[in-house]
A and B are shown apart, each in its own frame.
Chain A
C-alpha cells in the first residue's frame, strides 16, 4: 500500500485504521483496510455500493466489531464497544436514513440522543440555536420533525452531533437527499467545521462533490483499498477508474435526440395521496414523445411515487383521459391493459416490487413477461420462459449462476440489469423507469444507461424519474422537476442548467409565465 499521500499539513493524526478486516458469511466486507484522518481534514471514503464503505464506518462508530486490525484514536489503540462509547470519544455519525421521531421537536429529539447528558431542555435549545447559527444551519429548536424538509432534518442530525464536543464527524452519503442548493449550504457548514479542527469522514460515490469538498480520499473496491489521492489533483475520471477497476468502461456522454409524435400524455392530473405522509399531485401536465427520454428530477417524497403509481396503473386516476397512451385513455385501466398497449415499468424497489425476492429469475421473468407468449391457455410455457429468461441474462450480462437463482441472491446492480432487461426485451413503446441506477455500481449504471439510449433510438418513449441530477443530464433529452406535487415546465437538456433544474426542484418555476407552452421547446432540435 502506498504511503498516505495527503498529510498536507502537520496536523496530528486523529484516527488511524490499521489492517481492519471484517468477514461476513460469504463475503469479505473489509480486507485489511488502512486509513488515516488528520485533525481538521475532510477525508472522502469513495467506493461503489458493496465496496465496504458502510462496514468500515460501522466499525469506526462501534456498530460492529472488526475481526482483525487496529483502530488508533489519537495514536492509542481503542476497542469501540458500541455507538454510545464512540459518541463519548467524540465521534458523531449522520446515517443516510435519519433516526428521528417525527412527532417530537428538534430539541426533544436531540435530548433523547444525548441521554443523561442532555440536562436542562431550555439550555439545550439555546445551545442548538448557538451551534446552528455558528455553522450557518438555520434551525428552530421548537419545531416538530414532521414539519421539516429533508434538508432540515439532516441539519438536526448534524447539530445533534455538534452539540457535543466532536472530533470526528462521519457522514454517510449526505447529499443523496438534498437539492443542489442544499448541497452547497451543507458544504459551507462542513468547511467551517473542518476549519475549527473537526475531522470529517465523507462517504460518497459522487465524484464531483468529493472533488469540490474533500482534502483527501481513500478509494475502496471490493473491500480493499485501491488507492489514496488528493481529489482536487486526481480528477473524477481517475477516481472513477480506481472505484470500478480498469476493465469497466465509463461513458460520460450520449447524443441527444428529439422525439417524434406524443406517446404518453398526462393532462391535469391531480390526486390526493393515500399515504398520510404522502404528497398530493397538483395539476400535472406533461407528455413524452416516442424516441425521446424525459427526465423528471426532484428530491424524494415530492410526488414521484404518486405519479409513478398513476402511470403504472397501480393507482387509477379520476378520469380515464388524464393519462393517455398512444391516444387511448388509460387512466382507469389496470396495469395489464396498459402493458398490452406497450407500457413497461421499472419500479424504484427492485426487491419487493420489481422482482419477487424468493422467486427464481425464471419465475421473475414471467412476473411481467407473461404477455410475451409465455402463457398458453392459462398454463405456463416452461420452454419459452426458460429461453426468455436465459436471453435476458446473456444479453444484459446478468452475473448469476443460472436462471434458478433467487432474485434476492443477486447484487443490486445485477438485479437491476435483469429487471431493465426484462422490461426492454418486451419491446415496450413506453418505458417508465424510477431511479434506474439508484444504488447500482458504475459499471452496471453505464450498461443500464446504454440500454435506455438504445431503446430510445429504436423509437420508444422513455420517462425517467430520478434523484440523481447528473444521471438525468447524462441521458435525458428533455428535463423537468417535481416539487411538492407540482411539475416544472420542461426544457431540452441542452437549454437548461443544473442551477435551473435545482431551482425547479425547490419549487421555483419562474419560467411558467414567460413560456406557457412548456412542450414547445422540444420542437426545436436540441443542439448537441
Chain B
C-alpha cells in the first residue's frame, strides 16, 4: 500500500459537511456502474431513478408524502443519538403509533368533529412514546442495551400489529382480508394539494425540524442532551439527570415516530393494513447520520431518502428491476457515508519510504 491514513490534529469541519455530499456522489457512481452492468444506459437509468420521479407536481407531492414520516423518525432519532442513546427502534415505535392511532380512529369512525384528527394523532404519539419508553426503562433499570432491545421491540411491534389487524381490528365486512375498516373522514389528514396525496404530515414534519432546532440550540434541556452524549462524566458532575434525559429523548423520539405511523394510517393509507411502513424507521437511521444529526441536514437527507424510495419503485416499473434496488441504494449511501467520515479525522498521505531506507545503515 502506498497510501496511509494520517490523523489530522483536529477534526475537519469542512470534511464533516463534505462527507455526506461525497457519499452521495460515490453512491451515484456505483449505482451507475451497477445499472451499466445490468445492461442499462447508466445515465438514463439514473435519470429514471432520481429525476423522473419528481419531474411533475404529482411526483413532488409524493416525495413529500414519503419524506414526512422519514423526517419525523429521523428528527427523533437524532435527539437520542446526540445523547448516545442508540435507538434503532423507530420502526417499531412507528408501527405502534400507527396501531394505536388506528384503534382510536376506528372507535371514532362515525364521529364527525374537528377534534377527531388531533385525538387520533396524539394517541399515535402516545403509542409510539410508550413503546420507546419501554426500552428506556429497561436501559435505566436493568442496564439492558437499547440497541438490542429496540431492535427486538421492532419485531414485537410488528407482530402485535399483525395480531390486531388479523383480529379485533379487522374489518367485519372486509371479506376476511387482514385490513381494518376505512377510517371516518374526520380522522383523515387534510389534503394540501388537489389531486395529490400530499397531506399536512409534511407540515408537521417541518414543524418538528424547526422545533428540534430550537430545542437543541436554545434550550437548557437540549444542551444537557448534547453534554450527556459528548461527555457523560461532565454531565454527571454537573448534576444533569442521566436517566431522566434518557427517558426524555426516548419519549420524544418514540412520540415523533408514533406520529409518523399515525400520519401514514390517517394519510396516504386511510386504514390499518399489515404493512404500513416500507422500513421508514430503519431508513431514518441512515437519514439521521447523513444529516449530521442536525435538523436542517435531516430535512434535506429525508428528501433524498424519499427520492430513493420513489426511484426504486419507478425502476421496478421502467427498468424491470426488483424493489430491492431501494435497499441497495440505502445501503450504499450508509456504507459510503461511514467510509467518508473516516476523512473527518484522518487524511490520506502517500507513504514515505525514505526513513526506512535510511535506517538500514544504523
A315: nearest residue on chain B (CB-CB)? B236
Decide yes or no whether A301 CB sits under 8 A from chain B: no
Q: Does B230 contact A (CB under 8 A)?
A: yes
Contacts A25-B9, A379-B218 given: A334-B237 contact, CB under 8 Å? no
Task: Please tell me which one of the listed residues A78, A337, A354, A370 contacts residue B234 in the complex, with CB atoms under 8 A apart.
Answer: A354
A313 within 8 A of B: yes
With A25-B8, A79-B358, A81-B359: A356-B234 Cβ-Cβ less than 8 Å: yes
A336 touches B239 (CB 8 A): yes
Given A353-B231, A353-B233, A409-B10: A378 and B239 interface contact (C-beta under 8 Å) = no
Q: Is A339 an interface residue (CB 8 A)?
A: yes
Contact of A353 among B8, B220, B234, B239 (CB under 8 A): B234
- The residue on A at minimum CB distance from B355 is A65
Most buried by A among B9, B233, B239: B239
Report the bound CA distance from A202 to B156 in whole Å.
Answer: 64
A486 to chain B, nearest CB (A): 25
Which size class do A's interface residues fall under?
35 or more
From B227, B238, B362, contact of A85 by CB (8 A): B362
A363 within 8 Å of B by Cβ? Answer: yes
Contact A314 B230 (CB under 8 A): no
Please tell me if the beta carbons of A375 and B220 are within 8 angstroms of each other in the complex.
yes
Complex CA distance for A79 and B355, rounded to whole angstroms: 9
Q: Which of A129-137, A265-273, A344-352, A488-496 contacts B (4 or more CB under 8 A)?
A: A344-352
Cβ contact within 8 Å between B239 and A339: yes
Q: By the criterion CB–CB under 8 Å, are A79 and B220 in contact?
A: no
Pairwise interchain contact A368-B238, C-beta atoms closer than 8 A:
yes
The minimal Cβ–Cβ distance linking B248 to chain A, given in whole angstroms, is 12
| Any B CB within 8 A of the CB of A199 | no
**Using a CB-CB cutoff of 8 Å, which residues 391-424 of chain A contact chain B?**
409
Taking CB atoms, residues of chain B closer than 8 Å to A356 are 227, 230-231, 234
- Evaluate contact between B233 and A349: CB separation under 8 angstroms: yes
A176 to B219 Cα, complex, angstroms:
43
A110 within 8 A of B: no
A348, chain B: closest CB distance, angstroms: 11
Give the interface centre of A79, A345, A356, A358 by most chain B CB atoms within 10 Å: A356
A335, B362: Cβ atoms closer than 8 Å: no
User: Across the interface, do B239 and A78 meet the contact criterion of CB distance under 8 Å?
Assistant: no
Tell yes or no: B320 within 8 A of A by CB: no
Residue contact A379 to B234, C-beta cutoff 8 Å: no
Instruction: Check if A355 is an interface residue, CB within 8 A of chain B.
Output: yes
| Cα-based distance from A354 to B219 in the complex (angstroms) | 21
CB distance from A364 to the nearest CB of B (A): 9
Per-position contact with A for B220-250: 1 when CB-CB < 8 Å, else 0? 1101001100110110111101000000000
- Cα distance A339–B238 when bound, in Å? 9
Q: How far is the CA of A409 from the CA of B11 in the complex (A)?
A: 11
* Contact residues in B for A359 (Cβ distance below 8 Å): 226-227, 230
Give Cα A413 to B238, complex, Å: 21
**Inter-subunit contact A335/B238 (CB<8 Å):** yes
* B358 partner residues in chain A, CB cutoff 8 A: 79
Interface size class for chain B? 20 to 34
- Tell me whether A380 and B223 are in contact (CB under 8 A): yes
A347 to B218, CA, bound (A): 27
List of B residues within 8 angstroms of A409 by Cβ: 10
What is the CA–CA distance of A81 and B357 in the complex, to the nearest angstrom?
11
B76 to A: closest C-beta gap in Å = 20
A115 within 8 A of B: no
Q: B241's closest neighbor in chain A, by CB? A: A334
Query: How far apart are the CA atoms of A74 and B3 in the complex, in Å?
Result: 37
The complex places the Cα of A338 from the Cα of B236 at a distance, in Å, of 13
**Distance, CA A314 to CA B235, complexed state (A):** 10
Alpha-carbon separation in the docked complex, A378 to B220 (Å): 5
A21 to chain B, nearest CB (A): 15
* B355 surroundings in chain A (CB, below 8 A): 65, 79
- Report chain B residues within 8 Å CB of A379: 218-220
* A378 touching B238, Cβ below 8 Å: no
* Complex contacts, A313 vs chain B, CB 8 Å: 239
A312 within 8 A of B: yes
A409–B218 Cα gap in the complex (Å)? 24
What 0/1 readout, one digit per residue, does chain A (303-322) give for beta carbons within 8 Å of chain B? Answer: 00000000011100000000
With A353-B231, A367-B227 given, is the CB distance from A312 to B362 under 8 Å? no
| A residues in contact with B236, CB < 8 Å | 314, 335
User: When A81-B362, A313-B239, A349-B233 are in contact, do A363 and B223 touch as well, CB less than 8 Å?
Assistant: yes
A404 nearest CB across to chain B (Å)? 12
- Asked if A357 is at the interface (CB within 8 A of a chain B CB), the reply is yes
**Partner among B10, B227, B239, B359 whose Cβ is within 8 Å of the Cβ of A335:** B239
Q: Across the interface, which residues of B come within 8 angstroms of A352, CB to CB?
A: 231, 233-234
Q: How far is the CA of A473 from the CA of B226 in the complex (A)?
A: 40
Evaluate contact between B237 and A355: CB separation under 8 angstroms. no
CA distance A335 to B240 in the complex (A): 8
A61-79 at interface with B (beta carbon < 8 Å): 65, 78-79
- The answer on a CB contact under 8 Å between A79 and B227 is no
Taking a contact as CB atoms closer than 8 A, the residue among B9, B223, B359 that contacts A79 in the complex is B359
- Residues of B within 8 Å of A375, CB to CB, are 220
- Tell yes or no: A80 within 8 A of B by CB: yes
Q: Of all chain A residues, which has the CB nearest B361?
A: A79
In the assembled complex, the Cα of A51 lies from the Cα of B220 at a distance in Å of: 39
> Once bound together, how far apart are the Cα atoms of A78 and B360, in whole Å?
10
Complex Cα gap A24–B361 (Å): 26
Does A243 lie at the interface of the complex (its beta carbon under 8 Å from any beta carbon of B)? no
A334: chain B residues within 8 A (beta carbon): 239, 241
**A366 at the A/B interface (Cβ < 8 Å)?**
yes
Check A276 for interface membership: any CB of B closer than 8 A.
no
Q: How far is the CB of B238 from chain A (nearest CB, A)?
A: 5
Complex Cα gap A409–B236 (Å)? 23
Q: Encode contact with B along A205-230: 1 for CB under 8 Å, 0 otherwise.
A: 00000000000000000000000000
Closest to B8 in A: A25
Instruction: Provide a sorted-by-A list of 21 A–B residue pairs whose CB atoms are within 8 angstroms.
Output: A78-B362, A335-B238, A335-B239, A338-B239, A352-B231, A352-B233, A352-B234, A354-B234, A356-B230, A357-B230, A359-B227, A359-B230, A363-B226, A366-B223, A367-B227, A368-B237, A370-B220, A379-B220, A380-B218, A380-B223, A382-B218
Q: Which residues on B are within 8 Å of A, measured CB to CB?
A: 8-10, 218-221, 223, 226-227, 230-231, 233-234, 236-239, 241, 355, 358-359, 361-362
Further pairs besides A358-B230, A363-B223: 9, Cβ < 8 Å: A334-B239, A335-B236, A335-B239, A336-B238, A345-B237, A354-B234, A356-B230, A368-B238, A378-B220
Counting from the closest, the 3 A-B pairs by CB-CB distance are A335-B239, A336-B239, A79-B362
B-binding residues in A (CB < 8 A)? 24-26, 65, 78-81, 85, 312-314, 334-339, 345, 347, 349, 352-359, 363, 366-368, 370, 375, 378-380, 382, 409
